Structure 1
Amino acid sequence: MSDTTPTAASAPAPDKLSLGRVLRTFGLLIFLALNVILVSVLSPAFLKVENLLNVLTQAAPLGIVVIGQTFVLLVRGLDLSVASVMATSAVLATSFATTDNAMMPVIFAAAIGLGIVVGLANGLLVAKRRVSPFLATLATTIVLQGIRFLYTEGATGSTLPSGFSLIGQGRFLGIPVNLLILIALTIVCGYILHLSPFGRRIYLVGGNPRGANLVGIHTDRVIIACYVICSVIAAVAGLVLVGYVGQVDQWTGRGYELDSIVAAVMGGVAITGGRGSIFGALLGVLILILMFNAVILLGLPIQLQWILKGVIVIAASAL
């Protein structure tokens, strides 16, 4: 028996540039281009700058959620509670019953606090109690839903600081503010995943948890941190979405839990963990939004979107 100590080389390296990854990325870009061509043929006004900005504004809240979901998927997890976190964050925003913009930092701090608590709950259940990610995050979804309905008694709200309209619908130098938030998050989280030691640990844990343990990585801590990041980002996305739609109900963000997983998987993030990037996941968001627009422009039943989502997940998982 050898006395050698395991080194980092015994665990898989992060998702660095490789021929396979290049081909996947170019395949996504080609598919995106085909979608753009299809939609622009169906609607010649689609390629106008103003319309493209509107599409990006529509895609921004989902894009923000997908960034958080990517962290969890990379460590072999998934988070079904993101939509419920978004809705609870939105309800929390209206609970202050104020139109004073000076309260916005307090509202954001409260939402981030909510995200931290939910993320810790999910992470501890998955990493420490070994509950499956599906069951753990489904449980927190149900708990949050119950808390929302108990607190609001099912009522909706629209009392928000005017600053939320700026976040969701406003523009800075002609660029949608929610898109700028998405870009900022992409840069920060892209750095964390691809250039920081913590990002390397995420890929090692997702690619080979046993190997990561052998080289001294605290896999439980990495997994918990990823769930916290995901929930915090979802809470912020909930506030951005509130600003976009202009009001709050109990189901704000409904469907984002599945859409975020579908978009990430379509963008090359492996459900089995350890492979994928934020850039690819965001390409998946654009493709998903364009496909939904194409369904509407073609006059097809909107329920076809659900079928497409299922087919996409199966196809992407098989690749």
Structure 2
Amino acid sequence: MTAAIPSKVSAPRPRSETLARFLARHGIYLFLVALFVVCGALAPSFLSPENLGNLMAQWAPLAIVVIGQTFVILVRGLDLSVASIMATAAVAATSFSGRDADALPVLLVGLAIGLATGLLNGLLVTKRQVSPFLATLATMIVLQGVRFAWTHGAPSGSVPPIFRTLGAGTIGGIPYGLFVLAVVAAIFLVLLHRTAFGRKVYITGGSPVTARLVGIDADRVTIICYVISGMLAALAGLILSGFVGVVDNWVGKGFELNSIVAAVIGGVALSGGRGTLPGALAGAAILVAVFNAVLLFGLPVQFQIIIQGLVIIVATAFYARQSA
């Protein structure tokens, strides 16, 4: 009789390794929950329905921008023009009558601004080999100049009431902007994590050379990612202008850095090819919660800037450790 050959039995993973893998995958969400618990304990008003509604209203436009920024970072890029796109779309919206009948033209013009800027960014990066930093910095400055030339430094008018409702209105205590974010997030979650295009994004970001060897048009994928970022920034600008209630040349100021920081906190690798949209959205929620807590704790608003710098340092250090 032939002796039975024992089947291979894989050795169980050490508990420390299993825990490390769990924290690497879910640590961002655990940190977000812990942050809310700590902030709620130190400032009970943090978890009040009114403040939670305010947090969601602030999170929605930033999260929409972060979704686009994530696509760009995944293909080894950066988009510093998002804040300028937001302001330009908001300022362009004031050129109409301000009635709801103009809502669709306002939306289309805003999206067109985002599309054109994203397309220009993508072409500069892929076809002219301009670094993403310089390319998007240049378009940011150009858009800023266009805004000031168009408005003479003092924009007037208002966005249609529907955008004010989307930005600041609520239903059952839940901001309308959150519903817009839910729709946008669902669309791009499917696009990135459930379609062939999403796989191309990860392959292109992981190794553009490999992407070309397997027949992927890496330049096209990169350009589309910049277009997505530009159009989502325009949409976020219209929502944010509705939230703040006024339109000026600096709507969305700071979103360019905050969106990058949020994505990195959420595990999106600056070297490209690694990260998820849920993680990036959690990173955006962490930033909004921290900035809100600073004010509730009675600290000067300048502490937001200090904390933003510290968050960048910690996120960068964590990313470097994970990549080592």
1:130 corresponds in structure 2 to 129
| Aligned partner letter, 2:34 | L
Contact 2:64 2:232 (8 Å CA) reproduced: yes
2:44 corresponds in structure 1 to 44
1:87 corresponds in structure 2 to 87
- Larger deviation: 18-27 or 81-90? 18-27
Which TM-score applies when normalising by structure 2? 0.89
Deviation at 1:152, TM superposition (A): 0.5
Deviation at 1:173, TM superposition (A): 5.0
2:281 corresponds in structure 1 to 282
| Per-residue Cα deviation, 1:186-209 (whole angstroms, up to 9, x for no partner) | 100000000000000000000111
Q: 1:121, 1:300 → 2: CA distance?
A: 41
| Per-residue Cα deviation, 1:62-107 (whole angstroms, up to 9, x for no partner) | 11111110000000000000000000000000011x1321110011
1:31 corresponds in structure 2 to 31
Q: 2:42, 2:23 → 1: CA distance?
A: 29
SS in 2 for 1:151: helix
Q: CA RMSD in A?
A: 1.7
Q: 2:276, 2:299 → 1: CA distance?
A: 32
1:160 corresponds in structure 2 to 159
| Per-residue Cα deviation, 1:153-200 (whole angstroms, up to 9, x for no partner) | 011324332212211112245421101001111100000000000000
| Aligned partner letter, 2:194 | L
Give the gaps of 5 or more residues in structure 2. 1-17
Q: How does 1:177-188 map to 2 (within 5 A)?
A: 177-188=176-187
Contact 1:65 1:234 (8 Å CA) reproduced: yes
Q: How does 1:1-319 map to 2 (within 5 A)?
A: 22-96=22-96, 98-317=97-316, 318-319=320-321
Summarize the Cα distance change of 1:20–1:70 in structure 2 as closer, same or farther, 3 Å threshold: farther
Q: 1:24, 1:50 → 2: CA distance?
A: 33
SS in 2 for 1:248: coil
Deviation at 1:248, TM superposition (A): 0.4
- Larger deviation: 54-63 or 233-242? 54-63
Summarize the Cα distance change of 1:179–1:21 in structure 2 as closer, same or farther, 3 Å threshold: farther
Q: 1:223, 1:263 → 2: CA distance?
A: 21
Deviation at 1:313, TM superposition (A): 2.6
Deviation at 1:22, TM superposition (A): 4.3
Give the gaps of 5 or more residues in structure 1. 1-17
Deviation at 1:34, TM superposition (A): 2.2
- Larger deviation: 212-221 or 19-28? 19-28
Q: 1:272, 1:314 → 2: CA distance?
A: 17
Q: 2:151, 2:19 → 1: CA distance?
A: 52
Q: 2:218, 2:19 → 1: CA distance?
A: 29
- Larger deviation: 282-291 or 303-312? 303-312
Contact 1:123 1:227 (8 Å CA) reproduced: yes
Summarize the Cα distance change of 1:295–1:45 in structure 2 as closer, same or farther, 3 Å threshold: closer
Summarize the Cα distance change of 1:70–1:235 in structure 2 as closer, same or farther, 3 Å threshold: same
Q: 1:273, 1:149 → 2: CA distance?
A: 35
Summarize the Cα distance change of 1:82–1:19 in structure 2 as closer, same or farther, 3 Å threshold: farther
| Per-residue Cα deviation, 1:104-127 (whole angstroms, up to 9, x for no partner) | 001100111111110110000001
Q: 1:307, 1:206 → 2: CA distance?
A: 31
- Larger deviation: 21-30 or 194-203? 21-30
| Aligned partner letter, 2:302 | Q
Contact 1:123 1:224 (8 Å CA) reproduced: yes
SS in 2 for 1:76: coil
Q: 2:21, 2:126 → 1: CA distance?
A: 29
- Higher RCO (Cα < 8 Å, 6 or more apart): 1
Q: 1:25, 1:44 → 2: CA distance?
A: 30
Contact 1:42 1:297 (8 Å CA) reproduced: no
Which TM-score applies when normalising by structure 1? 0.90
Summarize the Cα distance change of 1:148–1:274 in structure 2 as closer, same or farther, 3 Å threshold: same
Deviation at 1:230, TM superposition (A): 0.2
SS in 2 for 1:62: helix
Higher gyration radius (CA): 2
Contact 2:118 2:231 (8 Å CA) reproduced: yes
| Per-residue Cα deviation, 1:19-77 (whole angstroms, up to 9, x for no partner) | 87742342112221221122112221322334312211121111111111000000000
> Which runs of 4 or more aligned residues in structure 1 lie more than 4 Å from their structure 2 counterparts after TM superposition?
18-22
Q: 1:25, 1:101 → 2: CA distance?
A: 44
| Aligned partner letter, 2:63 | G
How many residues get paired? 301
1:10 corresponds in structure 2 to none
SS in 1 for 2:94: helix
Q: 2:78, 2:103 → 1: CA distance?
A: 30
